[in-house]
């Protein structure tokens, strides 16, 4: 390698400064987890609490994946909480009251979520009505419809098979698991290895195309830390009851959306629409159709989250989904999505959702009231958006 090329290699400090948005939130997550682990006297990372943390926040992570795409295209969806509650109510009526088997009922509910997303996306994409107005109306409509079909009462319980969607765990391959579930731990360790291997492949691909990469020492340390953290969390999860079914669903979705947004044409087009819709349209991208599809996708994921939440509670309640949209939107912005559109990553949205989940869980363990929890979360969200505005001005 020439001396000129060596000089162009970024320093560790310079690389961190140029990628503050990406790595700042990851470091913040670790700092928040360490803080709550200390002040709760080790309660936060106990296997039982860690499993509960996953179960409590899985539906937020799932909806954050859809919300990220909506925000990247320059829009917002305020109706996701009400849609999740409404779909959960429909599932309760179908399964509990009408006796429909849970598998076809689940498929019908997912289709219903897609139809709701299509109805809202149609007005936003083709009639150019601001998404804030359309989805605000949707929030009110579906909140009212959930109250109507439940007649103001809770409906349940669900069949045990449906409950396993949220509260079930993957089966163990060994009859005597003891205090550690080896199948769950092995899956977690293999996932960690796969992520590290994929990172090395991506780096090699970037270098072969002459794309600037992070300093090798920093890259190596980051991947060693990634493997250690995932393996450790897999060990903690495997020490309780193994991998929850919902964690498997969530992991598959995260991998799918990460691949879609970074390695497919439609993923690149979504970012192009958010970056400059007029330029994207002039380049031949069907911007209206992409916007429409992001809302359909959001509707399906909101429906899935509603089913998981209903399965976890084992009942559908009129207040289900209340405030979900706030946590989901906050997760995306805290994770680095830009309020101006065109910027945001799946990993960032997941990290943002985990930050919100750890804060909720940690503050609950400490006995902090819901009133002050809302204040603290609001300040964190404001800080994340201020950082985004600062980065925009600096650029």
User: What are the tens digits of pLDDT across the range 214-254?
Assistant: 777 878 888 898 889 889 988 988 888 888 989 999 999 99
CA dist 13 to 9, 28, 218, 307, Å? 12, 17, 10, 45
| Residue 379 vs residue 302, higher pLDDT | 302
Across residues 187-214, what is the average pLDDT? 85
Phi, psi (degrees; rounded to nearest 5) at 155: -125, 125
pLDDT band at 4 (very low <50, low <70, confident <90, very high): very low
What integer best gives the mean pLDDT of the chain?
86
- In the chain the domains, ranked by start, together with CATH numbers, are 44-168+244-394 (1.10.3470)
Whether the pLDDT of residue 168 is over 50: the answer is yes
pLDDT at residue number 63: 94
Give the rounded distance of the alpha carbon of 1 from its chain centre.
41
pLDDT at residue number 26: 77
pLDDT at residue number 133: 94
Contacts 24+ apart (CB under 8 A), 121-125: 121/291, 121/292, 121/293, 121/294, 121/295, 121/296, 121/299, 122/292, 124/75, 124/291, 124/292, 124/295, 125/287, 125/288, 125/289, 125/291, 125/292, 125/295
Return the top range by mean pLDDT from 1-10, 97-106, 332-341. 97-106
Tokens 């539906």 identify what position?
A: 59
What is the rounded distance in angstroms from the CA atom of residue 101 to the CA atom of residue 253?
25
Whether the pLDDT of residue 106 is over 90: the answer is yes
Across residues 147-166, what is the average pLDDT? 88
Q: Do 78 and 132 touch, CB atoms closer than 8 A?
A: yes
Across residues 41-50, what is the average pLDDT? 87
pLDDT band at 35 (very low <50, low <70, confident <90, very high): confident
pLDDT at residue number 222: 83
Q: What is the pLDDT of residues 139-153, one digit of tens each?
A: 999 999 999 998 888
Judging by beta carbons within 10 Å of its beta carbon (0-12, 13-18, 19+), is residue 55 exposed, middle or buried? middle
Q: Do 337 and 74 touch, CB atoms closer than 8 A?
A: no
Q: Do 307 and 58 touch, CB atoms closer than 8 A?
A: no
Percent of the chain beyond pLDDT 90? 34
């Amino acid at each position: 390698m020439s001396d000129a090329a060596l000089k162009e290699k970024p320093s560790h400090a310079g690389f961190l400064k140029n990628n503050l948005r990406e790595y700042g939130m990851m470091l913040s997550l670790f700092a928040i987890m360490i803080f709550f682990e200390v002040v709760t006297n080790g309660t936060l990372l106990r296997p039982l609490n860690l499993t509960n943390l996953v179960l409590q926040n899985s539906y937020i992570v799932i909806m954050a994946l859809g919300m990220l795409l909506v925000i990247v295209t320059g829009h917002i969806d305020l109706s996701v909480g009400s849609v999740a509650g409404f779909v959960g109510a429909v599932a309760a009526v179908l399964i509990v009251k009408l006796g429909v088997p849970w598998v076809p009922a689940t498929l019908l509910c997912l289709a219903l979520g897609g139809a709701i997303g299509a109805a809202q996306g149609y007005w936003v994409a083709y009639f150019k009505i601001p998404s804030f107005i359309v989805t605000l109306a949707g929030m009110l409509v579906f909140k009212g419809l959930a109250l109507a079909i439940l007649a103001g009462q809770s409906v349940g319980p669900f069949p045990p098979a449906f409950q396993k969607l949220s509260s079930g765990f993957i089966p163990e391959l060994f009859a005597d698991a003891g205090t550690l579930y080896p199948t769950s731990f092995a899956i977690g360790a293999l996932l960690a290895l796969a992520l590290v291997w994929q990172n090395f492949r991506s780096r090699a691909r970037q270098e072969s195309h002459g794309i600037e990469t992070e300093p090798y020492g920093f890259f190596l340390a980051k991947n060693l830390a990634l493997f250690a953290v995932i393996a450790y969390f897999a060990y903690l999860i495997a020490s309780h009851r193994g991998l929850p079914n919902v964690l498997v669903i969530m992991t598959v979705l995260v991998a799918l959306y990460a691949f879609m947004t970074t390695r497919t044409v439609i993923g690149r087009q979504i970012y192009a629409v958010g970056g400059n819709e007029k330029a994207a349209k002039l380049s031949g991208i069907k911007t209206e159709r992409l916007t429409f599809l992001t809302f359909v996708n959001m509707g399906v994921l909101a429906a899935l989250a509603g089913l998981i939440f209903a399965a976890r509670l084992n009942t559908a309640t009129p207040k289900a989904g209340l405030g979900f949209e706030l946590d989901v939107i906050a997760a995306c912005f805290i994770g680095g999505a830009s309020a101006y559109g065109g910027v945001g990553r799946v990993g960032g949205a997941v990290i943002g959702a985990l930050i919100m989940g750890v804060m909720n869980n940690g503050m609950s363990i400490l006995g902090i009231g819901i009133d002050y929890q809302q204040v603290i979360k609001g300040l964190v969200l404001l800080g994340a958006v201020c950082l985004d505005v600062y980065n925009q001005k600096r650029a």
